[in-house]
């Protein structure tokens, strides 16, 4: 699908509505429950960069959005070409468990598990990981990492552009879903690649960060 037409195509198809209800079976794509139309969400959306540091994202909301992203990737690409990495500052787990703001996580699908993959070195603050410092205050940052080596092996030099386009589509899809759940956020370029290479497996060759989305509450 041409990315320039995707929003209009989504609006036309009834199956692509945004639910406004965090209940339900997390194994399903988020197309059921009490809906808000894409058109209404698109009319209301705005980029947002300054987040309330006292307000959390609900764990169930986060997981459902990550699942939605995986389903969306499958729909538009037919295979999992992107991995979802996360920085997590404020997520309400409703139990004694907690995520650490000093770690990098990766969402594992279909195991539906958020796994720790790296520690942020003590001499780095989250602000130092980003060119746009205010995004470090978001409750959650999701950055989409493309399997560059695999994609270029099958698509040649167009593999990078292909992954970048898909990542942008998925990030905007997540933006719309988060708005429907009462959060604010924005898409952005992501974390500093050179810094990420120092302590993660995102080396820029086999894997590369493509795009990112951060969100939270006002």
Give the CATH number for residue 175.
3.40.109.10
What whole-number distance in Å separates Cα of residue 82 and Cα of residue 150?
Answer: 11
pTM: 0.80
210 close to 163: Cβ distance less than 8 angstroms: yes
Within the chain, where are the H helices? 6-12, 38-44, 59-77, 148-155, 159-180, 193-196
Domain that holds residue 199: 51-95+103-216
What percent of the chain is modeled with pLDDT above 90?
A: 51
Which structure tokens are listed for 113?
């598990």
Q: How many residues does this entry show for the chain?
A: 218
Asked if residue 170 is part of any domain, the answer here is yes
∠ CA(27), CA(67), CA(159), 5° rounding?
135
pLDDT of residue 35: 45
46 in any annotated domain: no
Task: Pick the closest to residue 22 from 168, 143, 193, 182 (CA basis).
Answer: 182
For the stretch 179-213, pLDDT in tens is 889 899 999 999 999 999 999 999 999 999 999 99
Q: Give a yes or no: residue 188 inside a domain.
A: yes
For residue range 139-178, list pLDDT tens digits in order.
999 999 999 998 888 888 888 898 999 999 999 989 988 8
In a domain, residue 146? The reply is: yes
Q: What confidence category does residue 20 fall into, taking pLDDT thresholds of 50, 70 and 90? A: very low
Distance CA 14, CA 12 (A): 6
Q: Which two tokens stand for residue 49?
A: 């960069």
Domain presence at residue 154? yes
Name the percent of the chain lying above pLDDT 70. Answer: 77
**In the predicted model, is pLDDT for residue 25 greater than 70?**
no
Quote the Cα angle for 65-70-71, to 5°: 95
Closest CA to 83 of 165, 159, 145: 145
Is residue 107 domain-resident? yes
Please give the tally of structural domains in the chain: 1
Q: What is the mean pLDDT of the chain?
A: 82
User: What's the rounded Cα separation, in Å, for the pair 59 and 2?
Assistant: 33
187 falls within a domain? yes
76 belongs to a structural domain: yes
pLDDT at 131: 86
């Amino acid at each position: 699908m041409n990315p320039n037409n995707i929003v209009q195509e989504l609006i036309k198809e009834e199956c692509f509505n945004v639910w406004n209800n965090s209940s339900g079976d997390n194994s399903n794509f988020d197309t059921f429950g009490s809906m808000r139309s894409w058109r209404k969400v698109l009319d209301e959306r705005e980029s947002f960069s300054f987040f309330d540091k006292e307000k959390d994202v609900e764990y169930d909301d986060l997981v459902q959005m990550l699942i939605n992203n995986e389903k969306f990737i499958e729909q538009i690409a037919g295979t999992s070409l992107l991995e979802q990495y996360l920085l997590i500052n404020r997520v309400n787990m409703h139990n004694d468990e907690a995520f650490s703001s000093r770690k990098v996580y990766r969402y594992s699908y279909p195991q539906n598990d958020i796994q720790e993959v790296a520690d942020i070195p003590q001499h780095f603050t989250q602000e130092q990981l980003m060119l746009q410092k205010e995004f470090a205050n978001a409750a959650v940052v999701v950055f989409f990492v493309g399997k560059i080596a695999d994609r270029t092996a099958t698509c040649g030099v167009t593999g990078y552009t292909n992954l970048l386009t898909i990542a942008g589509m998925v990030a905007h899809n997540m933006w719309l879903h988060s708005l429907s759940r009462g959060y604010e956020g924005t898409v952005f370029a992501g974390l500093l690649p050179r810094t990420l290479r120092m302590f993660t497996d995102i080396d820029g060759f086999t894997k590369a960060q493509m795009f990112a989305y951060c969100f939270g509450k006002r």
